[in-house]
Amino acid sequence: MTQKSTKKSFLVTTALEETWGVDEEVIFLGEWCKLYDRSHIWETRQHYTLTYNWDDRSQLYSDSEYLRNLYEKILPILSAKLNEIHGTSHTDRYWRILLGVWLGFFLQILFQRWSSITNATKIFQPTDTILLTDKVNCLIPNDMTDFVNKMVGDRWNHYICGRILQYQGKVNCVYLDRDIDSEDTNPHIEKSLGTIKTFLLKTWNLCMTPFVKSKDLFFISTYLPPIDELKLSLRFRQAPKFNKSAPVPQTISIDEWRRWHLDNSCRTEFESFIREILPSQIPTAYLEGYNHLIKQSNSMGWPERPKLIFTSNSHIYDDLVKSWIASKVELCSSLVLGQHGGGSFHALNFQVEHEFDICDRYLSPGEGNTWQPKVIDVGQLFARKWESNSEGIGLLILLGVPRYSYCITSTVQSDDFKHYLAAQMRFMALLPSSIQDSFLVRLRREDYRWNMRKRWHDRFPNQVIDDGKQKIHNLYARSKIIVCTYAATTFNETMAANAPTVIFWDPKYQQLHESSTPYFDELSRVGVFHETPESAAAHISMIWDNIDAWWESVDVQNIRKLYCHRYANGSAKVLENVGDALCKVLAESGDKKL
């Protein structure tokens, strides 16, 4: 990286152009500052861009270990402080379930921003930075969902970076009065149900509520089809309900509630900063609004002392459900989690580590992850079937990630996305024009201001694009081949459904657990998995006129079945397997006092 000159320069931490000065040299803290549709502005400025610190994967792994240890150090201290504030005596596991994801994300976000600012000041020695004055209360999250919406946007990140710059005191802070009235994040996208369906579900649940018993098993957001959840309830001889959550009550932050510090010994300047900022940023649901949260969760009509709780999705972002789960786990309820996404575990993934920390058992779609002692292989919870269309389209499915990193994981995040996107465009450019014209590019509905549609249109003006608005399974059914480009749910689902699939990604930016390596080596041997866009494009060009002949070949099918047996088992007995697994958990917890 080139050393900057000694003239006046501004450190820019976000895409908020009010902080860029007039015509001074600017130091961009990351690619997230440079919006594609504003390139006509930033390209005219003399500027430097700091290299993303976790582009160095060895640094990512090293920082992950440090942050994991710091998390385990802070959690019991924070738990004790919240017990003191609320007059409670909850266990560390209770608080881990309720706020552990927020704490992990928060520490990882702060450390990444802290490290970037530290590196920028050392390498470039910027003279000034502009900080916008804002209503601080508007930047305190209400709950986990609100935190997620804030953490991906410029406004909140500008505030956090400003706090770091003020604390470090190495760059002159110039204050600019401006009230930012509107959020700049992607709005939280709610999945709405049709009016009739919603009415029927509410009516059904209302009718079933009187029949709910204190010790009934509790199912919510399991990923099982509704009819299978109903059958599962009947197997355990309990009233079948389709449990739904509700929004967390809105609570205003109160300064008097936040005049405290974490009582811990700080080894570094960063840890001292955490001690100062955490009380001012903890979501109100865990502090001022905690009593309202508990009151609401207790009024949902859910079992008072469930023997077992099973969810695949409500244990991360849903504070209402999490507060209820945490209280029931303290009463000896067993917590069973279903794997979100399927497939092999990532080499690094804080969220999955958190899941293992809080659960009693973990249901996985194959035996490949059973090296983890809490895992039970039940098959793919979200398995669906459809018929491929041999005369259909090619479907390229793209990843979407926030511009700002928020969770340590060995997959694409933040500035890595520019490398990822360049690979996707190289892949498309390498296809013959006749095949290009037959492809549909599926974007994520959440754009995070990457301006993906414009990027694709500028490079491929005639490319057919879906903005994530069509149902993915409808697109699957129209496709003769599906190209998956990231390590998540999609290719496990298509492989389990026996739909012709090609996978490609750069292993530098997407690293799975080492136990999966032999199976991806075999997928590579038969042309399913590729590490470069060049290899994937060449393979698709070769098989395009007779994809079924390749896909249905004995070698490909044997390897597909081997992989699915390990990581994407679309067993017809998945419901029976889930029921058996829950029975096993109940037997294991027989000595608990309920």
Cα–Cα nearest to 417, from 405, 435, 429: 405
Residue 578, domain member (yes or no): yes
Q: Do both 297 and 372 map to the same domain?
A: yes
Q: What strand order describes the sheet that includes 47-49?
A: 47-49, 25-28, 9-12, 128-133, 172-177
Residue 175, domain member (yes or no): yes
Q: Do both 179 and 227 map to the same domain?
A: no
Q: Do both 275 and 313 map to the same domain?
A: no
Residue 36, domain member (yes or no): no
Contact (Cβ atoms closer than 8 angstroms) between residue 393 and residue 439: yes
Would you call 463 exposed, middle or buried from its count of C-beta atoms within 10 A (0-12, 13-18, 19+)? middle
Cα–Cα nearest to 357, from 77, 99, 589, 593: 99
- In whole angstroms, give the CA distance from residue 571 to residue 443: 30
Domain range holding 211? 195-248+289-383+572-588
- In whole angstroms, give the CA distance from residue 521 to residue 526: 9
Cα–Cα nearest to 338, from 317, 309, 318: 309
Q: Do both 420 and 558 map to the same domain?
A: yes
- In whole angstroms, give the CA distance from residue 363 to residue 369: 10
Q: Do both 442 and 554 map to the same domain?
A: yes
Cα–Cα nearest to 114, from 152, 64, 161, 158: 161
Residue 10, domain member (yes or no): no
The contacts of residue 471 (CB under 8 Å, 6+ apart) are none
Would you call 263 exposed, middle or buried from its count of C-beta atoms within 10 A (0-12, 13-18, 19+)? exposed
Listing DSSP states for 299-329 in one string gives TS---SS-SEEEESSTTTS-HHHHHHHHHHH
Residue 263, domain member (yes or no): yes
The secondary structure of residue 229, as a DSSP letter, is H
- In whole angstroms, give the CA distance from residue 128 to residue 116: 16
Q: Do both 491 and 458 map to the same domain?
A: yes
- The CATH number linked to 468 is 3.40.50.2000
> H/E element holding 11?
strand 9-12
- In whole angstroms, give the CA distance from residue 81 to residue 261: 9
Q: Do both 489 and 528 map to the same domain?
A: yes
* φ, ψ of residue 49 in degrees (nearest 5): -125, 125
- In whole angstroms, give the CA distance from residue 499 to residue 486: 17
Give the total number of structural domains in the chain. Answer: 3
- pLDDT at site 179: 63
Residue 40, domain member (yes or no): no
Question: SS3 sequence, 500-524?
Answer: CEEEECCCCCCCECHHHHHHHHHHH
Cα–Cα nearest to 398, from 500, 472, 459: 472
Per DSSP, helices labelled H in 331-405 are 350-358
Residue 2 DSSP SS3: coil
CA 45 → CA 27, 42, 175, 407, distances in Å? Answer: 10, 5, 21, 32
Of 236, 261, 286, the last residue of a domain is 286
Q: Do both 222 and 330 map to the same domain?
A: yes
Q: Do both 559 and 415 map to the same domain?
A: yes
Residue 27 DSSP SS3: strand
Size of the chain, expressed as the number of residues it contains: 594
Q: Do both 84 and 155 map to the same domain?
A: yes
Cα–Cα nearest to 348, from 410, 412, 411, 416: 410
- In whole angstroms, give the CA distance from residue 594 to residue 589: 10
- The CATH number linked to 368 is 3.40.50
CB atoms under 10 Å from CB of 59, counted, come to 12
- In whole angstroms, give the CA distance from residue 196 to residue 201: 9
Residue 421, domain member (yes or no): yes
The structure tokens 């005639």 sit at 462
Residue 15, domain member (yes or no): no
- In whole angstroms, give the CA distance from residue 68 to residue 348: 11
How confident is the prediction along the chain (594 residues), in pLDDT tens digits per residue? 444 455 789 999 999 999 999 999 999 999 999 999 999 999 999 999 999 999 999 999 999 999 999 999 999 999 999 999 999 999 999 999 999 999 999 999 999 999 999 999 999 999 999 999 978 889 999 999 999 999 999 999 999 999 999 999 999 999 998 765 545 544 444 444 457 767 667 766 666 666 677 789 999 999 999 999 999 999 999 978 889 999 999 999 999 999 998 987 778 999 999 999 999 999 999 999 999 999 999 999 999 999 999 999 999 999 999 999 999 999 999 999 999 876 788 999 999 999 999 999 999 999 999 899 999 999 988 767 777 788 899 999 999 999 999 999 999 999 999 999 999 999 999 999 999 999 999 999 999 999 999 999 999 999 999 999 999 999 999 999 999 999 988 999 999 999 999 999 999 999 999 999 999 999 999 999 999 999 999 999 999 999 999 999 999 999 999 999 999 998 889 999 999 999 999 999 875 544
- pLDDT at site 8: 86
Q: Do both 282 and 293 map to the same domain?
A: no
Exposed e or buried b for every residue in 465-494, given b needs 16+ CB within 10 A?
A: bbebeeebeebbebbbbbbbbbbbbbbbbb
Q: Do both 271 and 307 map to the same domain?
A: no
- In whole angstroms, give the CA distance from residue 534 to residue 122: 39
